Amino acid sequence: PDPPNGVMRTEEQNALFKQGLGCLGTLYSHPHTNVLRLTSFPDGHETEDQADGTNVAAYCDRGWCFTESSLATLTKGFHLSLDLGLMRDGKEYDRPELIAQCTKGSALKGEVIGRRPPLLPSAFAAELETKSFTNGKDDKPLVKRLYEAAFEEQFGKAT
């Protein structure tokens, strides 16, 4: 789909999109799935090269990126949520090296080192208000519901 150019989803594509969106929280928060985050572009990437209408805010300031990262910290081990933006250009990694490099964060940038503790849905909603969306009117309430449902799914079974 390319709405700015008049190309919309078919009814079938829209139904599949909504079905997939409903499973997003489970996919990102499941304790056995890997989440690969690309928090920065490679050297030489220019913002001007991105498509019109693209959210060009920093990764940590974007609503969907914040949501996906928050879902990945609910119950997942730190080694299953990797920041590929921390990889060094030209270096090859085996799995242990990749995990070590892509989970360390940067204290100089004020990043959380390791895994951030899970947020209560109310804390998630409050922090979400500081994030940018391309379509915040529709997306903010949606991601709040997705996060709350995933939180309940993961922690509702704890006794």
What is the phi/psi pair of residue 6, to 5°? 80, 10
Phi-psi region of 98 (alpha: psi -120 to 50; beta: other; left: phi over 0): alpha
DSSP helix/strand/coil, 78 = helix
Give the global pTM: 0.82
- CA angle, corner 66, sides to 131 and 159, nearest 5? 125
Distance CA 104, CA 159 (A): 32
What does the pLDDT profile of the chain (159 residues) look like in tens digits?
A: 666 667 788 899 989 999 999 899 999 999 999 999 988 877 777 777 777 777 778 888 999 999 999 999 999 888 999 999 888 888 999 999 999 889 876 544 555 566 788 999 999 999 999 999 988 788 999 999 999 999 999 999 876
User: Residue 3: which residues within 8 A CB-CB, separation 6 or more?
Assistant: none
